[in-house]
Amino acid sequence: MKKDNPKAWRNDAYAKVTGRARYTDDVKFPFMLHAVPVYSDFVSAKIVSIDTSDAEKSEGVVKVLTHKDVAGTNRFGQIIKDFRIFAEDRIFYNGDVIALVVADTRANAVKAAGLVKLEAKAIPSILDPEKALEPDCPLVHEEHGSNIINEHRVRRGNIEDGFKNSGLILEEVFQTQFVEHAYMEPEAAICNPRHDGVIEVYASMQHPFSTRRFVNAVLGGRLADVEVISTPMGGGFGGKDDTVSIVAARTALAAKLTGKPVKCSYAREWSIRESYKRHPYRIYYKMGFTKDGKIKAVKTKIIADGGAYCSVTPWVTWRSTVQCCGPYQVENVHCDTYGVYTNNVVTGAMRGFGSPQMNFVVESMIDIAASKLGINPIEIRRKNMVRQGSITITGQKLDNHKVAMEETLNTVLDEFDYESKFKKCSFGKSDADELYGVGLAMSYRGMSLGAEGTDFNSAIINVQPDGSILLETGIHENGQGSESAMCLILARELGVSLDRIRYRRPSTSNIPDGGTTVASRGTVMGGGAVVLAVKKLKEKIAEFINKHHGSAEENAVFKDDEIICGKDKYKFDDVISSMYRNQEYPHVFGVFRGPKVTWNEENGQGDAYFSWTYGCQAIELTVNRKSGKVKLLNAVAAHDAGKAANVQMTLGQFYGGMAMGIGYGLHEEVKMKDGVITNTNFNSYRLPRSTDLPEMKAVIIENPDPNSPSGAKGIGEPTNELMAPAISNAIFNATGKRYFKLPIKVEVSGEEDLNQ
Amino acid sequence: MKMTVNRKLIEVPDSMKERKLVEYLREELDLTGVKNACEMKSCGACAVLVNNKSFRICNAYVKDVENCELLTIEGMENEDGTLHPLQQAFIDFGAMQCGFCTPGMVLTAHAFLLGNSEPTREQIRKALQSNICRCTGYQQIIDAVEAASVFYRK
């Protein structure tokens, strides 16, 4: 590890680059059994019987579990407890699991899974969320009383007046697709029944505490009876919460009932079939402008396909609602948002969390308006964008941090040489085979969970007698480098060298629940807790020095592994050693509580997020007139990261986010046929490859956020929410054709679309 | 049958010949750097070097590599345990996040650089087309491979 280059430092780099990192499926326990899920061919059905007798007699099979084996509750969820851990009397979607086969080897379990017999009666499936909203539509979940999972709204100003005063009114309908997270590591869990009665869980998850809640609910015990232990995780992007927690819960039940360690490691096909996706949205959007381009009114109806179970649909759609007008000041807003049950695959959290859909709409609409009004697309943005002290559409005044919307826009314009490239666009009027276009999009994004959740996190710093330091936080390493960021923040704040710090992966049994590592909140919340813990540690150490060494100086300075108290200098190691000799523990616990946020469900007004971050991205491309092939040439992004803890890792978030945004815009779609996913592996689910992507330039803007103790802002998701609209705008500027549906399939007469 | 894995000659029992090669490497030899991610040669997470060429081995059987020389990620380090310059470049350029694709990515890049030590970025992109990374957008991976190429020049 190169410790002299902390900008690229990762505590797990050596393990990952040598193949030593042990992911869940790489771990073995003696006498471990293997579990395999059993699915049905149905999308919606009434179950008559599940016959496991043949499977039980199959070679190597130890047990076959169904819902009847669940000791605790078989229905669970983060918001609505509607997930069936095992199907009971109904099939709600094609990914429902009817049984779990446990055998001596995975191959034997797979073989026996085919012998489980299901007798069921098909029920007409509800696959269109708008049909599900019709009053006479049958209900997906009778007990919920409605197909509407949740509603959100914004009511601001007077929408009629707003449109009355508009010289241009645009009305469009947009549609987005199901998207697979496509983490490279499929779901996996190992559960080990410990001699003390605790069930130990190792899994590929991004929220160990959520996993613990699912496991505990199914086992029917108490939280202290389950210990969930972090292992290296092969990607999450929001997708390693509910589904893998359910996988872990089934596996834990198998471990408990067999008394043996059990591993359940998913094949890609099972993963794509069962796991939740990004919500497809249908968005009706009406927008009024004055002739000179000022936005007067927005009226929108947002319908999100929630699939068969609620998951976190209410939270995802809440962010869409709060950010439904993009980073623009709009006085008159009327927004109605619906999360809807269908028999489609479950939808839930995915990087962006309800914003990529909305940004596609808003940033397309702004460009449409600019084109119709004959205004430069940059100028129309400048005219409407939020600035220091602006009021958001939910009535929040942006005055507690630097509003860097224009700064990010200007940075991209400069870096990209946007204006001169814009002039060269073909606008569909060129005779060349390759039509040229550039496009741009920008957004602001509420930081962390906002008024949708309880936002706090903790850190434990435990300095050892020799001055080495153990650090733990309630933030989970998803691969993004959060552990390294935490170590770097600790080193920076405590004024000590990085090489004395070791991150200890916490288990759910030794640190309090810090909420899930989502919402780009890792560095903000975990880093905040580290900063506050360091503050406590410094106070403790300074107090000790005063007491035992008689330094009268109040303000001790911690720098270069030394503590300077006025004229006196102490070596960090010596002070720590002295503390232990004097029965003082240099051990602290720090908590960062997210500042207050407010929300009124009735009118959709409130201080929705405790701070905001700003970003802008641009892309340059060509479209082949004959083949429709889109070639991406260059991309630039600028985002306000507050304060970057680890520059290379921050850049990695930019590039990865942009790549995923490009996939969203051009390639990716989970294809459904009558409720069944037809592309369940990477040969047919089209992910961006190295040759699909352009050279990318990332610019980190740093305006340390006063609301975040480490100064950091979240950056994982903002980077992911702009490429699709930028591409759509660039394709328009190249071809003169506007697209309202993702992924964009460039229309060419009589030719197949080469981007799919 | 015999094969060489990471410079070590291995005597494979006949009973293992019909096993999936990935399973054999992971479960019998504990070389878990070889990953399963699609099991249909679409993603490259299982890539290893067979006779110095990169292969996606998820569909292969043990018998397919009789008398071959295999190099897995566990064999990339130098004999003295120090990192190969390509591995070091992956670290220095932040070319990994979750790390699940990293073994296959490093090995594919290694095989490529053995044959082309002065590649353009476009050539590097083409060479890595067989390997999916969902985290990085490939940008820093390409940076790392480009930087490491100098170590492959004789």
Chain segment B19-62, per-residue pLDDT in tens? 999 999 999 999 999 999 999 999 999 999 999 999 999 999 99
Query: What average pLDDT score do residues A592-615 get?
Result: 95
Both A435 and A462 in one domain: the answer is no
Q: Does one domain contain both A606 and A730?
A: yes
Contacts of A186 in chain B (CB under 8 A): 36-37
Contact assignment for B98 to A659 by CB distance below 8 Å = no
Any A CB within 8 A of B83 CB: yes
Token couple for A410: 């200007």
Residue A455 contacts residue A474 (beta carbons within 8 Å): no
Domain assignment present for residue A43? The answer is: yes
pLDDT at A626: 92
CA dihedral sign of residues A212, A215, A217, A222: negative
User: Which residue does chain A place closest to B98, by CA atoms?
Assistant: A479
CATH number at residue A483: 3.30.365.10
Q: Are residues A322 and A389 in the same domain?
A: yes
For residues A541 and A496, state if they share a domain. yes
A649 near B CB under 8 A? yes
Domain membership of residue A131 (yes or no) is no
Yes or no, beta carbons of B136 and A659 under 8 Å apart: yes
Distance from CA of A8 to the nearest CA of B (A): 6
What are the pLDDT digits (tens) for A709-756?
999 999 999 999 999 999 999 999 999 999 999 999 999 865 455 555
Q: From the candidates A11, A18, A108, A350, which should be mutated to test the interface with B, based on the most B CB atoms within 10 A?
A: A18
Residue A19 to residue B74, Cβ atoms within 8 A = yes
Q: Which structural domain range is residue A295 located in? A: 281-450+600-735
Please give the single-letter amino acid code of residue A142: E
Encode pLDDT of A327-376 as tens digits.
999 999 999 999 999 999 999 999 999 999 999 999 999 999 999 999 99
CB contact under 8 A, A17 and B106: yes
| Residue B120, pLDDT score | 98
**Residues on chain B touching A23 (C-beta within 8 angstroms):** 32, 35, 100
Predicted confidence (pLDDT) per residue in A489-526, tens digit: 999 999 999 999 999 998 999 999 988 777 788 889 99
Q: Is B85-152 in CATH node 1.10.150.120?
A: yes
Residue of B nearest to A22 (CA): B32
Listed by start position, the domains of chain B span: 2-75, 85-152
Provide the edge-to-edge strand list for the sheet that holds A456-463. Answer: A501-503, A469-473, A456-463, A587-593
Q: How far apart are CA A132 and CA A147, in angstroms?
A: 6
Please enumerate in sequence order all residues whose Cβ is within 8 A of that of A550, keeping only pairs 6 or more positions apart, or say none. none
Q: Does A2 touch chain B (CB under 8 A)?
A: yes
What's domain B2-75's architecture? Answer: Roll (3.10)
Q: Which of residues 349-408 of A touch B (CB under 8 A)?
A: none
User: For residue A15, what is the DSSP state?
Assistant: H
Q: Which residue of B has its CA nearest to A477?
A: B98
Three-state secondary-structure class, residue A614:
strand
Q: Do A387 and A367 reside in the same domain of the chain?
A: yes
On whether the CB atoms of residues A425 and A438 are closer than 8 A, the answer is yes
Q: Most B CBs within 10 Å: which of A1, A12, A183, A184, as the mutation test of the B interface?
A: A184
Distance from CA of A31 to the nearest CA of B (A): 14
The CA distance from B110 to the nearest CA of chain A, in Å, is: 13
Min CA distance, A740 vs chain B (Å)? Answer: 25
Q: Are A62 and A195 within one domain?
A: yes
Q: Residue A235 and residue B38: Cβ atoms within 8 Å?
A: no
To the nearest whole angstrom, how far is the Cα of A617 from the nearest Cα of chain B?
15
Q: Please indicate whether, in this complex, the C-beta atoms of B73 and A18 are within 8 angstroms of each other.
A: yes
CA distance B109 to chain A (A): 12
Residue A706 lies in a domain: yes
pLDDT at residue A3, as a whole number: 45
Question: Which tokens sit at A94?
Answer: 């094609």
Asked if the model's pLDDT at residue A6 lies above 90, the reply is: no
Q: Is the pLDDT of residue A201 over 90?
A: yes
Is A29 an 8 Å CB contact of chain B?
A: no
* Interchain contact, B39 vs A268, CB within 8 Å: yes
Number of A to B CB contacts under 8 A, please give it: 180
Check CB contact of B29 with chain A, cutoff 8 Å: no
**Chain B residues touching residue A688 (CB < 8 angstroms):** 137
Residue of B nearest to A661 (CA): B137
Determine contact, residues A170/A241, Cβ cutoff 8 Å.
no
Any chain A CB within 8 A of the CB of B21?
A: no
What is the C-alpha separation between A489 and A532, in angstroms, rounded?
Answer: 11
Question: What's chain B's length in residues?
Answer: 154
Cβ-defined contact of A19 to B100 (cutoff 8 Å):
no
Q: Are residue A632 and residue A662 in the same domain, yes or no? A: yes
Check CB contact under 8 Å for A16 and B99: yes
DSSP string, A702-735: ----TTSTT-----TTGGGSSHHHHHHHHHHHHH
Tell me which chain B residues have a C-beta less than 8 angstroms from the C-beta of A691: 125-126, 129
Average pLDDT, chain B: 97
Sort out which chain A residues have CB atoms less than 8 A from B133's CB and list them: 184
> CB-based contact (8 Å) between A1 and chain B?
yes
| β-strand partners of B61 | B20
Residue A17 and residue B135: Cβ atoms within 8 Å?
Answer: no
Chain A residue nearest residue B45, CA to CA: A184
Residue ranges with strand state E in chain B: 2-5, 8-11, 47-50, 53-56, 69-71
In a domain, A323, yes or no: yes
- A663 within 8 A of A687, measured Cβ to Cβ: yes
Residue A23 covered by a domain: no
Q: Where are the alpha helices (DSSP H) in B7-136?
A: 21-23, 85-92, 102-115, 121-127
- Identify the residue whose tokens are 């979940």: A141
CB contact under 8 A, A17 and B126: no
- Please check whether residues A325 and A437 belong to one and the same domain: yes
- Position A515 scores a pLDDT of 81
CB contact under 8 A, B100 and A185: yes
**CB-based burial label for A507 (10 Å; 0-12, 13-18, 19+):** middle
Q: Does residue B49 sit at the A interface (CB-CB below 8 Å)?
A: no
Interface subset of A 228-257, CB within 8 angstroms of B: 232-237
Whether residue A5 lies inside any domain: the answer is no
Domain boundary among A265, A300, A325: A265
Neighbours of A194 (CB within 10 A): 12
Q: Answer whether A453's CB lies under 8 Å from A459's CB.
A: no
Q: In what order do the strands lie in the sheet with A568-571?
A: A557-559, A562-565, A568-571
With b meaning 16 or more CB within 10 Å and e meaning fewer, what string describes B64-80? ebeeebbbbbbbbbeee
Contact call for A690 and B142, based on CB within 8 A: yes
Do A503 and A558 have their domain in common? Answer: yes
ipTM of the complex: 0.98
Task: Give residue A755's pLDDT.
Answer: 57
Look at residues A265, A298, A331 and tell me which one is the last residue of a structural domain. Answer: A265
* Residue A158 backbone phi and psi in degrees, to 5: -130, 105
Check residue A517 and give its pLDDT.
Answer: 79
Within 10 angstroms of residue A123's Cβ, the number of other Cβ atoms is: 17
pLDDT band at A1 (very low <50, low <70, confident <90, very high): very low
pLDDT at position A731 is: 98
- Residues 6 or more apart whose Cβ sits within 8 Å of residue B120: none
What do you get for the CA distance between the two ends of chain A, in Å?
40
Q: Does residue A667 share a domain with residue A604?
A: yes
My answer on whether A368 and A226 are in the same domain is no
Residue A149 lies in a domain: no
Boundary of a domain, candidates A539, A560, A593? A593
Q: Determine, for residues A683 and B138 on separate chains, whether the beta-carbon distance falls below 8 Å.
A: no
Domain presence at residue A645: yes
pLDDT tens-digit map of A641-666: 999 999 999 999 999 999 999 999 99
Q: Which residue has the tokens 């350029």?
A: B93
Examine the pLDDT at A554 and tell me if it is beyond 90: no
Q: Rounded to a whole number, what is the distance in Å from the CA of B1 to chain A's nearest CA?
A: 24
C-alpha A246/C-alpha A84 separation (Å) is 9
Segment A225-268, tens digit of pLDDT: 999 999 999 999 999 999 999 999 999 999 999 999 999 999 99
- Say whether A247 sits in a helix, a strand or coil: helix
A361, A693 Cβ separation under 8 angstroms = no
Which pLDDT score, from 0 to 100, does residue A519 have? 76
Residue reference for tokens 């071809």: A735
In total, how many domains does chain A have?
3
Which among B135, B81, B79, B82 has a CA at the least distance from the CA of B105? B135
Region B113-127 average pLDDT: 98
Q: Mark yes or no for CB contact A184/B134 under 8 Å.
A: yes
B51-60 contact pairs (CB < 8 A, 24+): B52/B111, B52/B114, B53/B111, B54/B107, B54/B108, B54/B110, B54/B111, B54/B112, B54/B130, B56/B104, B56/B130, B57/B21, B57/B22, B58/B20, B58/B22, B60/B20, B60/B21, B60/B22
